[in-house]
Structure 1
Amino acid sequence: MGKKKKIAVADFITIQRQNFQHFLNVGMVSEIELRNSISHAGVELVLYPEYSQFCRSESSMKSAIANGRTYGCRLYVPGQLIHQDSKVSKFQWILLGTVPLMNRRGHFILNGSARVIINQMVRSPGIYYAEKITRKTKKGKKKKKGKIVMIRTVYADLISQRGTWLRFETSPGGQPFVQMKRTPKIPVSLLLQAMGLSTTTITQRLSMAQGLSMREEDLMTQGLVKRHWFPDSTEMGFAQELVRDLETFYRKTGKQYRLQEWALISLYALTHPKCELMEITPEMGKRFLFRKFLNPKTYDLGLLGRSRLNQRFNLGISTNTRILTAEDILKITEHLGEVFHRTAVPDDIDHLKNRRIRSSAELIQNQFALGLTRFEKVIHERLTRANSGITLSNLVTTKPINAAFREFFGSSQLSQFLDQTNPLAEITHKRRFTSLGPSGVSRETAGMAIRGIHPTHYGRICPIETPEGKNAGLVNSPTMFTRISQDGFLQSPFQKVFKGQAQPEIFYLTADQEEKFMVAPGDLNLDKLRFLEQKFFPARCDQDFLNIKSNSIHFLSLSSFQMISIATSLIPFFEHDDANRALMGSNMQRQAVPLLNPEKPIVGTGYESRVVSDSGHSINARFSGYVTFVSCEEIQVYSLIPATKKSPFPFFEGSEPNHNFKNSLKNPSHGWKYELKTITYPLESVSRSNQDTYQFERPLVQEGQWIQKGEALADGSASADGSLALGKNILIGYLPWEGYNFEDAILISERLVKQDLYTSLHVEKYDMDFKDTRFGKEQLTPSIPDLPKRNQKLLDERGIIKLGSWVKEGDVLVGKITPIEKKKLSPHERLLYDIVGKQVQDVKDTSLRVPKGLVARVVKIRLFDEDGRCYETSIKGKATSTRILDPNKKSQMAQLAEIGKFIIQKKRRKTQQHPHFPNSFYFLFKMRKRQMGQPNATSSNLKKAILEQEGRESGIGQKKREKDFPLLGRKTIQRVQLLLAEKRRIQVGDKMAGRHGNKGIVSRIVPKHDMPFLPDGTPLDLVLNPLGVPSRMNVGQIYECLLGFAGSCLHEHYQIMPFDEMVGAQTSRSIVYSKLLKARKRTGKKWLFNPNFPGKVKLFDGRTGEPFDQHVTVGQSYILKLVHQVDEKIHARSTGPYSLVTQQPLRGRSKHGGQRVGEMEVWALEGFGAAFTLQELLTVKSDDMKGRYQVMDAILTDKPMQLGTPESFKVLIRELQSLCLDIGVFVLTTKEVKPIDPMKGVTGKPIESVKW
């Protein structure tokens, strides 16, 4: 086999970051340019977006998360207010609003929480033809049955980037109509006449396509309407009425309208049926037509839509003309006739050439455009009410754009709470795209066609990873190598093949480009010169599979990873799994909880390190160098970095706007190219994710170690040695054990609990606000009455729990007393208080206490004062590094330091000395900058700075200062925020899973000595049911189990490529058996590989010591602990809320609801004869409103319960009575039968005393 070519995989988060940069640099400017001039009543506001600037964010990302703020920057645009009468103009920087910023990891910080904007897959702008066949029953003559007739309808959807979508449709007779949303059908000829086309042109063009005959003199006559505009009999009544109204209108007004004006009146009358025809004028129709299709601000085909229309119909319309033209409608209608007459085929709507990705940046740009539209409307309103002395400060407001961003990020279906369970979950969430949302499909109406796998998905959309349930097929993940083109189409890389030889060039092809070439799979063997063998190979062309010669192949796929997503690529041997189980394995890896001591898998695929590095959960070295200092707080590296020149004007440094996304290095100096410098990498000690998992960073390097650029310096909470580590390699066996692993239940050893192998850390956040009440201010104090001494020692002098304290249920976290109104005492109560010597309490204890069942440690304390300042203290971890710095390296580093000093001194002599600037200049310049408060400017934009200064001096544009800490309410004077870390060990009820979709619930924890053990005495850690493998068809777990067993004996780690059959037949089995045989020879344990029972060993029962009857499959498998933990699931209800309508308990743990007893549960209780239990469940525990209040009294007084009538029974009686059935309820006694009113319930004797 020839030498493999290494492929550089792009950063996995590029999809998010690159598009957002394009929005900041291009998209935002283009949107402002569309509305850069707003004028009204002789006053004009002109914006200059090409000079727009972003101010640096006031707070860092860490402080934004801690303070609950939004991480963003202010957008300033130069504006000019021109008074047309006096010709007076004023310049000023205008604050348009605050734009949320995307950080380097590809998500946003909104109100202190990480959020991500999901990319949306929608139909691309353009025209799409389709057909539908409906069944219709024709009425028969007299008593004859009606015939079922199949009616074929052809339609075309014109999708625009902005504005109304149009549907062109044919009647059964082939007549064309056009329809907008919530409007009746409009004849195409009517729309064309309204747009100014002559009848001759319409008849010539449409008759060629549709077979229509039209005469110019028939316009606006009843015959024409009957024959052409409304040919269907169902529309005839409305047509005759319209013509009659038009003739009456013509006789009354006596006006002579042209043909186009008649068409405009008719168009407006059709689309506005509630409007009086006598009130409609041609101008109203013209305004309607302009607003819908001819105004670039309200209707835009987009550059892509216009180019696709031009390409499809061979039009020569300029790409700058993005509105709908009459020629477009004629061409669309002509092709509609061809599809109707079957001379052309309909489009494949699910083809990826017809679907594009609306990136997160495009969605934000659309919202920004919406904010600008509101901004323009507000300016118009203010100009209408303004007087002659209007100024920019009174005219401009930031509310429209800020509100638009707030609405989108806070309530849009595409703005989601970031899944931060582990790095894989985070990176997958950012790459995902959905077909739901605005302008998308609905999960209720989406069929199998849009959910299914299309041939064009190869290399672009993963066929495996998608959610289960209602969103299956509607939410997808891109494949590993997928790239999004500038137009939003998915591209996949392919390797060029020329005359049978693979070329080094790589081409990214879209789905429609790929169909034109012969594409072969990527697992073909190449020789040393990268030639294919001279034989036939399978290839794909235009969705057909062929066998062709190697010389006819145009492209090769790059890798076997090309067709799957990131999560699926982390499953070894996944080609041996059923697709449904591989889907479950991909999804459950994202649900894995980071463990206390992460461990990377023995059997991996090679992409584990890329997931961690690209997700931003590890720290990588920016430059090569020596590690000089390592602690739990920071890592210092002594590196040789490119030198930078220092400008004497730091305020005007740089030539581009500061978007916080540029390289932090400035222009290289003209002197020395490099300098020696110590780079400090800070480490995060304690942080909380959105899913309450514990996030921290621990050093991975040692002092004195040489590191290369890009090498991992620190691990995250879910990584080990720079690789993704979500679970543990544990010894498992496949055998039944006393029925405890029935139906996918899992039996685990006590060792997993005692050694904290599956122990995870979870962080809970608790807030306590101190408010100013009408009786006084709430106080933070340690003096709390009746507080135990142990808890008093845990509080500091302020009344806050000490950092690092272990707390349990009921302990006080924050001491707080609230003033209350003094109780008015009666004379005898006052006497009693005087005798006892007790005073009336005017405060009550409202302290924050640890909730039930929680044992945790205080890891971080934040205190916010009234001014919004935050004081934070957090617990420090321990550095695991050891010093290996020897004396020789110390001397070498000292020499490097001296060289560095010399270089820096020389550099200063060349570039940094400016004797003609006094020292006070820099201070005065900084003070002037602070007073001006203007955004970062460049040396080429000094004119803008002068205009800004002029505006400030004249009192124009003074922006209101925002409140420093918006989270504190108006009456809140102080806030204490605590982070508590809780240890959760594995326990019965927790969910565990492998990487192949093999999941289960822990059913029992068995002592170590009772677990089955190997011939050398090693007990198993986990026992799985062997019946979970054959029916699920996920055999990949067996390969992983056995290869992991061999790797643990050989102390080796493996990276497995999928689809390894390219090397030879049954390669996976050969690799596993060879490694087991190698482990047997190296360790001397013959039972590791038995040729008679390969992959199985003799296992012994830990309780009896006797061997099991059959050999058992045993190995090392990578098992995950999932986020579905029993502590968050277990729930019981005694009392709680009831539904207002049904009077039955609510459902769900969050609402403290009850468990539903359905029809089958009633049958089960009936079968067991539990009559009284069943009666309680259906009455007092459900919707017996009277009985539920009498239960407690009956229990305390030891009396029989008064069971009333449930509300559901009353509903049943009323429903039967509504069907005119005389339904009554009677009580049978010894003497007579008494009717009762079920609406009032059974009254009288208890149920035990009733005799039947």
Structure 2
Amino acid sequence: MNSLGTSIVNGIYRIVINQILQSPGIYYRSELDHNGISVYTGTIISDWGGRSELEIDRKARIWARVSRKQKISILVLSSAMGLNLREILENVCYPEIFLSFLNDKERKKIGSKENSILEFYQQFACVGGDPVFSESLCKELQKKFFQQRCELGRIGRRNMNRKLNLDIPQNNTFLLPRDILAAADHLIGLKFGMGALDDMNHLKNKRIRSVADLLQDQFGLALVRLENVVRGTICGAIRHKLIPTPQNLVTSPPLTTTYESFFGLHPLSQVLDRTNPLTQIVHGRKLSYLGPGGLTGRTASFRIRDIHPSHYGRICPIDTSEGINVGLIGSLSIHARIGHWGSLESPFYEISERSTGVRMLYLSPGSDEYYMVAAGNSLALNRDIQEEQVVPARYRQEFLTIAWEQVHLRSIFPFQYFSIGASLIPFIEHNDANRALMSSNMQRQAVPLSRSEKCIVGTGLERQAALDSGALAIAEREGRIVYTNTDKILLAGNGDILSIPLVIYQRSNKNTCMHQKLRVPRGKCIKKGQILADGAATVGGELALGKNVLVAYMPWEGYNSEDAVLISERLVYEDIYTSFHIRKYEIHTHVTSQGPEKVTNEIPHLEAHLLRNLDKKGIVMLGSWVETGDILVGKLTPQVVKESSYAPEDRLLRAILGIQVSTSKETCLKLPIGGRGRVIDVRWIQKRGGSSYNPETIRVYISQKREIKVGDKVAGRHGNKGLAGSLLDRHYRIAPFDERYEQEASRKLVFSELYEASKQTANPWVFEPEYPGKSRIFDGRTGNPFEQPVIIGKPYILKLIHQVDDKIHGRSSGHYALVTQQPLRGRAKQGGQRVGEMEVWALEGFGVAHILQEMLTYKSDHIRARQEVLGTTIIGGTIPNPEDAPESFRLLVRELRSLALELNHFLVSEKNFQINRKEA
């Protein structure tokens, strides 16, 4: 694990997400039965998530439900835990209620501890007959129930003591009879209107399961596995009459395999998203309700997903995932921290009339409800103005306006309630919440540009976000720069020289380029903490995800409908939105049954221009420019060729000239479609070993320079997103680089976008008195002004990772599904066009009968017709009409036959409309 909280497992950066779980303890709730009567229950949650319930019926009888179906009297449970009737009555507040439902049958069950244990075991284990009391039965009950379902843990003991006003020591982490009786007393009080129910969605009833807790659980699991291994080793040694040594007994594989499976397979262990610096820091601050012991996306209710008043200052009310997991995956607020007891704490300033100093304190959920908490933007008070003598505040989960003298605490920062992604949105108070959510997610998808630029309008947190992301090179001590180059910096100080390596053209797991650029010259004296080099998407130590471009919010001949964006050629030719992407291609060599695979540049039956970039060893050379289909690594795989499989000319050559035909097939690494670029790195990896042949891995890294294209996705910081719809020529001479439909802003409630573009970036030449806030611009083609004045400005526009080069796809012919005979789906499978039911409706609406016939026959699942079309297209003939039914109709007939339904069908001739009884 490094200093940023990420782990490196097998060379891959991974992050463990914090999980939100129900805190162990007891929680009371009320439900209505089928008669409309309130039924009060108390749920005891153990440290590992097991649940037991206490419920009180209409006759005030209390039952303990240890499983979903079986329930047992509270007296039997207390007696099985070691108390007699006298001790039970002495430790409860309502002994008369306990005595009211004590009949002769109950007295017999709790007459002795043995009878109570037998009764409880019979109900808990669901066994038939009459079990016999024994020590083994007591041990089994102790192991299965009292040690597993009744372990509260350190946090559960604290919650139980606070809820039931107990003083049991913290080191006693198991459920005691005293806890059961106190819980029953509280349940009786709720029955008669005393006490309050618990809000299960309040953060005071939740706990954060961090990476330390998860690793601790995995370590316990590894010890259990190690115990089994030690037992097996000892038994084997005894059986073979050997003396085991400590080195043979205690081995590391149980521990290493447990942690490897945890980091590789656990749902909360994820590959670190390294698209840009903001993505890295936000990914580590996520909170998830999902995972083992948590909720699922399909069963979580709306109440759990919704915002709770206790979230303010702890969990961002805006930043969450979209889709089925909305509200289940959140993000920490910028000043929140995880407390000692697993709770989320938020900082506040204490307001005191006695002291002039400022005292900051962190409060857990529930603690701040007893104070009047003012908003963080209430920094000053003008007593001469009546409106400024009251401030907005929170009290007991309610939002109200109170006088300044009544305030106890104040938030330390106006953006305290938001996450890092949401706090980077300027004018967020003018945004719609849905658009702010989109903006928070889209900023994490921004691609680092080759020429990054700081935003003109910011929130002030860009520098701190860049520092905390780890993308910058920071001086660890003061000194003087004695040497610099592209890959390292030498810092002299305290009598020695410190070498600081720089990241040079490194590939992220999203194929973006991570590169650090030097900021300090040679000979300069620096201080500790000073920035030495900028990283990807940072300029001057500040976050720089996009560019400030001139934008006009206007329609332009309908080309920007449906959120399309028009862009000027200057964005392409001046490399304004140019980004570098690095792709990795690898190939492995193995030992087959016919021998080892061979890496070579002598590949038979391949054209010479495909092998032009290979060196003598058969690997592509550094600096080579490669195109689609070029060979990156030449490899031959041996195979056995039977005599009957030789072609006639091969058999003739062998018989007459004695030429041996190649017994190897080429399995070269070829550059796939869309992978053109320049080779920047080649790595040949071999495993150490004593065998004559070791498997090898060859990795080739190719850098791509991508200018912005039609189809690329761009977005602002206010949820305004769209695709580049058209590329305008430079000779049009239209002032803006980027044009967008003006009414989009008001329709989607993104007024903050207009604030950023006009209010804070207004220049003297932009303002015109005739059109306040707008300007009249001219059409470069005709020289005439546009009909209406428009808003123009310089907003901050991002280029997102959803690029057309990664998504565009086409094919003439390819593979088909075996059952339906329709083209496969997806670019990775070289899939084709698939026409569904709704697409057919759309084509029918336009009346395009011939196109619809082609879609459903030639281009889909008509086997004979598509074969004839391919040949006819090559020779330039007329495309024949299909004469029989497509394969989907045949499949329907077969499915009906499987249901014992016979479908007879006939084809009607097109010429004379006579029935042609040809089998379809």
Q: Quick check: 594-603 or 209-218, which moved more?
A: 209-218
Other-structure match for 1:853: 674
Distance (Å, rounded) in 1 between the aligned partners of 2:829 and 2:477: 53
Give how far 1:807 is off. Answer: 1.2
Distance 1:491 1:1041, change over 3 A: same
Matched, 1:359 2:217: no
Other-structure match for 1:250: none
Give how far 1:849 is off. Answer: 2.3
Q: Quick check: 757-766 or 839-848, which moved more?
A: 839-848
Distance 1:1162 1:779, change over 3 A: closer
Other-structure match for 2:100: 213
Distance (Å, rounded) in 1 between the aligned partners of 2:700 and 2:313: 47
Matched, 1:721 2:540: yes
Distance (Å, rounded) in 2 between the aligned partners of 1:393 and 1:1141: 57
If each structure's helix is expressed as a fraction of its own residues, which one has the higher value?
A: 1
Q: TM-score w.r.t. structure 1 length?
A: 0.68
Other-structure match for 2:261: 407
Other-structure match for 1:978: 700
Look at both structures and tell me which one has the larger radius of gyration over its CA atoms: 1
Distance 1:344 1:258, change over 3 A: closer
Q: Secondary structure at the match of 1:425?
A: helix
Amino acid at match of 1:445: T
Aligned residues: 902
Give how far 1:562 is off. Answer: 0.9
CA contact (8 A) 1:220 1:262 kept: no
Distance (Å, rounded) in 2 between the aligned partners of 1:826 and 1:1147: 35
Aligned mate of 1:176, from 56, 59, 62: 62
Aligned mate of 1:1029, from 734, 745, 749: 745
Other-structure match for 2:360: 506
CA contact (8 A) 2:318 2:422 kept: yes
Distance (Å, rounded) in 1 between the aligned partners of 2:37 and 2:836: 45
Amino acid at match of 1:1129: K
CA contact (8 A) 1:209 1:337 kept: no
Other-structure match for 1:103: 2
Distance (Å, rounded) in 2 between the aligned partners of 1:1113 and 1:398: 67
Amino acid at match of 2:106: L
Alignment of 1:857-896 (within 5 A): 857-867=678-688
CA contact (8 A) 2:546 2:799 kept: yes
Give how far 1:415 is off. Answer: 0.6
Q: TM-score w.r.t. structure 2 length?
A: 0.91
Q: Quick check: 801-810 or 588-597, which moved more?
A: 801-810
Alignment of 1:632-1031 (within 5 A): 632-639=486-493, 675-785=494-604, 794-821=613-640, 824=643, 830-832=651-653, 839-867=660-688, 972-1013=694-735, 1020-1031=736-747
Other-structure match for 1:587: 441
CA contact (8 A) 1:771 1:971 kept: no
CA contact (8 A) 2:89 2:98 kept: no
Distance 1:1178 1:189, change over 3 A: farther
Distance 1:1128 1:1229, change over 3 A: closer
Other-structure match for 2:53: 167
| Deviations 1:474-503 (CA, angstroms, capped at 9, x unpaired) | 111111111111111111111111128763
Give how far 1:839 is off. Answer: 4.3
Alignment of 1:408-557 (within 5 A): 408-499=262-353, 503-526=357-380, 535-557=389-411
Distance 1:1195 1:978, change over 3 A: closer
CA contact (8 A) 1:206 1:212 kept: no
Distance (Å, rounded) in 1 between the aligned partners of 2:427 and 2:323: 26
Matched, 1:267 2:154: no
Amino acid at match of 2:708: I
Q: Identify the structure with bigger relative contact order (alpha carbons < 8 Å, sequence gap 6+).
A: 1
Give how far 1:1156 is off. Answer: 5.0
Other-structure match for 2:882: 1201
Q: Secondary structure at the match of 2:196?
A: coil
| Deviations 1:558-602 (CA, angstroms, capped at 9, x unpaired) | 110111111111111111111111111111000001111111111
Other-structure match for 1:1105: 783
| Deviations 1:943-1000 (CA, angstroms, capped at 9, x unpaired) | xxxxxxxxxxxxxxxxxxxx9xxxxx99753322111111222111111000000000
Distance 1:201 1:1178, change over 3 A: farther
Other-structure match for 1:337: 188
Distance (Å, rounded) in 2 between the aligned partners of 1:1002 and 1:795: 38
CA contact (8 A) 1:629 1:703 kept: yes
Other-structure match for 1:195: 81
| Deviations 1:682-718 (CA, angstroms, capped at 9, x unpaired) | 1121211111111121211112223222111111121
Amino acid at match of 1:604: G
CA contact (8 A) 2:394 2:400 kept: yes
Amino acid at match of 2:155: L
Aligned mate of 1:125, from 5, 20, 24: 24
Distance (Å, rounded) in 2 between the aligned partners of 1:424 and 1:291: 48
Distance (Å, rounded) in 2 between the aligned partners of 1:829 and 1:442: 62
CA contact (8 A) 2:623 2:680 kept: yes
Distance (Å, rounded) in 2 between the aligned partners of 1:853 and 1:492: 49
Amino acid at match of 1:194: A
Distance 1:971 1:767, change over 3 A: farther
Distance (Å, rounded) in 2 between the aligned partners of 1:206 and 1:756: 79
Give how far 1:1129 is off. Answer: 1.7
Give how far 1:548 is off. Answer: 3.8
Amino acid at match of 2:771: F
Other-structure match for 1:294: 146
Amino acid at match of 2:867: M
Amino acid at match of 1:369: G
Other-structure match for 1:113: 12
Give how far 1:1193 is off. Answer: 4.6
Distance 1:852 1:536, change over 3 A: closer
Aligned mate of 1:558, from 412, 417, 420: 412
Distance (Å, rounded) in 1 between the aligned partners of 2:50 and 2:136: 18
Distance (Å, rounded) in 2 between the aligned partners of 1:1029 and 1:569: 21
| Deviations 1:382-403 (CA, angstroms, capped at 9, x unpaired) | 3344326222122123232222
Distance (Å, rounded) in 2 between the aligned partners of 1:377 and 1:318: 34
Distance (Å, rounded) in 2 between the aligned partners of 1:819 and 1:590: 47
Other-structure match for 1:1192: 867
Distance (Å, rounded) in 1 between the aligned partners of 2:122 and 2:157: 30
Distance (Å, rounded) in 2 between the aligned partners of 1:291 and 1:1023: 70
Please list every run of 5 or more consecutive structure 2 residues that lacks an aligned counterpart in the other structure: 873-878, 910-914
Matched, 1:1042 2:758: yes
CA contact (8 A) 1:207 1:213 kept: no
Alignment of 1:27-106 (within 5 A): 102-106=1-5
Other-structure match for 1:597: 451
Q: Secondary structure at the match of 1:758?
A: coil
State, as a whole percentage, how many aligned pairs show the same letter.
41
Distance (Å, rounded) in 1 between the aligned partners of 2:143 and 2:880: 77
Aligned CA-pair RMSD: 3.3
Distance (Å, rounded) in 1 between the aligned partners of 2:97 and 2:904: 70
Give how far 1:504 is off. Answer: 1.9
Q: Secondary structure at the match of 2:183?
A: helix
CA contact (8 A) 2:579 2:707 kept: yes
Give how far 1:1196 is off. Answer: 3.8
Q: Secondary structure at the match of 2:438?
A: helix
Distance 1:1223 1:794, change over 3 A: closer
